[in-house]
């Protein structure tokens, strides 16, 4: 078991955002977390990566209780997170953006060469500043940087946002590749079709609770649910 979220409650001040949320991610598995805007997806991500710790319940990662760890500690345990939006450093070059993830840890699995093997498009852009890259390139850089930290699991918050279909396809391939490399992925998405073609298991959130939990096919058949919680 990679990640276990056990019945957590998270508050923003007095507002009770997450109410008894539970979720699991297995080794080398891609899991989608779907839901409309404001369903609590981002808050759940923040609770997992230590930005907004849960006040009740526990979160385990590879057997460690990470509920109240500082976010840099969680990152060091092997959760690579990409925030919503373009999570690159706009004033650093592509090369710097990638290498900033490289921290000389023991058994470093990634270096620039094999990163560029996955993202050959970045090779010619290494000296460009982050903000000069296209949306798709930025997303690739962000994933490349996350890989440099030797993650066991990636949490991707809306990677599809604002990307053209062709590029979306590329990103989708990359995500599948992660899974083949043994990295679990938790894909947080509003783009339901994009997510459903990639994953085996789905969680659907609504108003701070998990309202569906099951295989992709089960969700696809459940049109009422798709309509009610995802607007499809």
Partner 1 sequence: MVERLDTMYQRLLSRKILVAVIIVVLAVAAPHIANTYTISLLIEVLIFSIFAMSLNLLVGYTGLPSFGHAAFFGLGAYIIAYISGVNDLTLSFTNNILLTLPIVIIGTGIIALIVGSLALRTDGIYFLMITLAFAQMLFSVAMRWSAVTGGSDGLIGIPRPEIDLGVWKYSFESRTAFYYFVVTTFVAIYFGLHNIIHSPFGLALKGIKSNQMRMQALGYKTLHYKIGVFVLAGVIAGIAGMLLAQFYWHASPENLYWTMSGQALIMVILGGVGTLIGPVIGATLMRLLPNITSTYTNNWQSYMGIMLIVFVLCAPNGIMGILLKKLKNNQ
Taking the least distance from each CB to partner 1, the nearer of 92 and 167 is 92
CB of 100 to partner 1, least distance (A): 5
| Interacting span for partner 1 (CB under 8 A) from 5-13, 36-44, 73-81, 197-205 | 73-81
**125 interacts with partner 1 by CB under 8 A:** no
In angstroms, the CA 202 to CA 29 distance is: 11
C-beta of 146 vs 198, nearer to partner 1: 146
In degrees rounded to 5, what are phi and psi of residue 181? Answer: -80, 0
Q: Which segment (20-28, 98-106, 165-173, 202-210) binds partner 1 by CB under 8 A? A: 98-106
C-beta closer to partner 1: residue 11 or 102? 102
Of the pair 97, 206, the CB lying nearest partner 1 is at: 97
Kindly tell me which of 81 and 219 has the beta carbon lying closer to partner 1.
81
Q: What are phi and psi of 119, to 5 degrees?
A: -115, 70
Q: Please report how close the Cβ of residue 54 comes to partner 1 at its closest, in angstroms.
A: 18
- How far apart (Å, rounded) are the C-alpha atoms in residues 18 and 163? 29
Given the rule CB under 8 A, which of 7-15, 31-39, 76-84, 166-174 is the region that contacts partner 1?
Answer: 76-84
Binding mask 141-180 for partner 1 (x = CB under 8 A): ----xx--x-------------------------------
Residue 75 lies near partner 1 (rule: CB under 8 A): yes
Interface with partner 1 includes 84 (CB under 8 A)? no
Name the site residues for partner 1 (rule: CB under 8 A): 49, 51, 70-72, 75-76, 80-81, 83, 87, 89-92, 96, 99-104, 145-146, 149
């Amino acid at each position: 078991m990679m990640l276990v979220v056990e019945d957590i409650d998270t508050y923003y001040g007095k507002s009770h955002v997450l109410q008894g949320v539970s979720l699991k991610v297995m080794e080398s598995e891609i899991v989608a977390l779907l839901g409309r805007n404001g369903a609590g997806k981002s808050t759940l991500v923040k609770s997992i990566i230590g930005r907004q710790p849960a006040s009740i319940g526990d979160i385990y990662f590879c057997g460690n209780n990470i509920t109240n760890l500082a976010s840099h500690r969680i990152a060091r345990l092997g959760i690579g997170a990409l925030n919503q939006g373009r999570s690159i450093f706009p004033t650093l070059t592509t090369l710097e953006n990638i290498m900033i993830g490289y921290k000389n840890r023991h058994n470093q699995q990634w270096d620039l060469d094999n990163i560029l093997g996955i993202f050959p498009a970045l090779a010619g852009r290494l000296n460009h500043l982050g903000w000069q890259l296209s949306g798709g390139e930025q997303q690739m850089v962000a994933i490349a940087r996350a890989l440099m930290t030797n993650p066991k699991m990636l949490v991707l918050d809306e990677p599809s946002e604002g990307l053209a279909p062709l590029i979306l396809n590329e990103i989708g391939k990359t995500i599948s590749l992660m899974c083949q490399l043994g990295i679990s992925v938790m894909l947080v998405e509003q783009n339901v079709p994009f997510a459903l073609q990639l994953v085996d298991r789905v969680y659907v959130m609504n108003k701070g609770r998990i309202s569906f939990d099951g295989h992709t096919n089960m969700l696809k058949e459940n049109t009422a649910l798709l309509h009610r919680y995802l607007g499809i």
